[in-house]
Amino acid sequence: MQNEELKGSYNLLETERRKFAQLFNAAPVGYLILTRGGYIAEINRTGEALLLGDHTVIKGKKLEAFILSDSLHEYRAFLQKIQQSTDRIQCEVRLRTKVMETKYVQLDGITVPSAAESEPKQYITITDVTNAKKAQQHLWETTERLNQTLKVSLTGTWMIKSRGKEVFLDEYSRDILEIGSSDDVNDLKSLAALVMEEDRQKLDKMLSNCDQDWEIDMELRLAKTAGRTKTILVKGKSVRPIYGQSYLAGIMTDISDRKRSLEIAEEYEKNQRRLLRKAAIEAEEKERAKISAALHDSVCQILYGIRFNLNHLNKKELAPFKLDHVNLMLDQAINELRTLSVELTPSILKDFGFKAGINDMVQQLSKVGFKVHATVDDAADKLPAETQLYCFRIIQELLNNSIKHSGTSEATVRFDIRENVFCIHVHDKGKGFQLDVEEALKQGSGLRGIKNRVSILNGNLEISNDNGTNFKICFSDTNQ
């Protein structure tokens, strides 16, 4: 009976030993048992595969024989620590391989005292971490490249979580936002305080869309800058993680220099257009001056000579009929030519100033039955001659339009100055524009000419079609 019991116990023990052996060999990590000195006493199949050898070759050898020389220092320090401590110790080493590749393994060891043997043994697990190490290396290289790219491009990264309660800014973003080391910017409220008040609603809109697949692309102006406007470009998107709430993430870039370059380019193009329009109008004025001089110096002089000779003949009574009617017609022709000459080149501006020129225009219009109430500030005479001529032409064209199209016989002209800004007001109580104002500007060459002159003055033109037609042109004399 005792033999049967012993046999049963032996069979049960053998069954358990086989289970342990199968578990030991089939484990996904390598198991080693080291004796004092680091010799391999036992190793499972996974361990053999990692050390690239079979049981007969590996058993009895030192584990350090399979480790590359550049990792031996870490391994020997690891072995010394586990022999002197009962705590679990870890280290990471590189193994020798038959091909030119690197294999990283992690060693976890602990010393277990043995009751049956005098010397304790070290139980070691060996895990292949090559893929994790390569992924870590790739992540580090990618992060380093990203950091270098961000550094060179002056670009920072940001995240907004917990619906604005948490804000993360990297060092480049903090530099762009001019955030000092002592400044605490960790939520959306403190971040919004750095932005101009007019742009803060953009941040609110951005936050309201964080739960949607929303692309972020906006420009923000900083509130605190050293004497200049600083503009940053913010790009990003909403991120939906597998677990947890959505959050916003992206990059920011300082585009102040780019904005200033664009503004300078736009201003340059604007000035070029102004110069072209100015050159065209100056050429027009020169042609007007030539025609005016030709009429005054040739045609008018001839007509004056004809009238003188006719008067001389009339006094000698050589003509068989009265010449009064001819004289009247000649006077009318001379007056019309004189008026045309004045309209082409108003010399009164050069001789007596802008105010006198407007008053003379008012008198000329009153002769044809159109009444103008004009008020002109004396400061208008101090404007440059070129500016006076532009303003004179603008008022002249507006009054001619009123005569032709308004259906009324009365208009008001006011030229005044407030805070170094000159304003021309021309108003009539006629029928107003029959077309939309923008459409009228496109179709009317006279209005286009007015608009060009206003552009040369670097001014603003406002037109309202209420209770007649109202024109308001404002400009600053500092632009001349």
Q: Which residues of the chain have pLDDT under 70?
A: 17, 19-21, 55, 99-100, 114-118, 150-153, 182, 209-212, 224-227, 276, 279-281, 283, 285-288, 290-302, 305-307, 309-310, 312-330, 332-347, 433-446, 478-480
Rg over alpha carbons for the chain, rounded to the nearest Å, is: 48
CA distance 363 to 346: 14
Q: Where are the beta strands (DSSP E) in 222-277?
A: 231-239, 247-254
User: Taking a C-beta distance cutoff of 8 angstroms, is the pair 23, 45 a contact?
Assistant: no
CA distance 31 to 109: 10
Q: In what order do the strands lie in the sheet with 410-418?
A: 371-376, 410-418, 421-428, 469-476, 460-464
User: Taking a C-beta distance cutoff of 8 angstroms, is the pair 471, 462 a contact?
Assistant: yes
pLDDT of residue 261: 82
Task: Look at residues 379, 338, 382 and name the one whose alpha carbon lies nearest to residue 360.
Answer: 338
Task: Look at residues 415, 431, 346, 412 and name the one whose alpha carbon lies nearest to residue 378.
Answer: 415
CA distance 441 to 401: 13
pLDDT of residue 479: 45
pLDDT of residue 200: 84
Q: How far is CA 4 from the centre of its chain?
A: 91
| Secondary structure string (H, E, C) spanning 111-174 | EECCCCCCCCEEEEEEEECHHHHHHHHHHHHHHHHHHHHHHHHCEEEEEEEHHHCEEEECHHHH
pLDDT tens-place string over residues 401-443? 888 888 888 899 999 988 888 999 999 888 776 656 566 655 5
CA distance 167 to 440: 53
Q: Which residue has the tokens 């900083």?
A: 222
CB atoms closer than 10 angstroms to residue 323: 14
Say how many residues make up the chain.
480
CA distance 392 to 385: 10
pLDDT of residue 109: 93
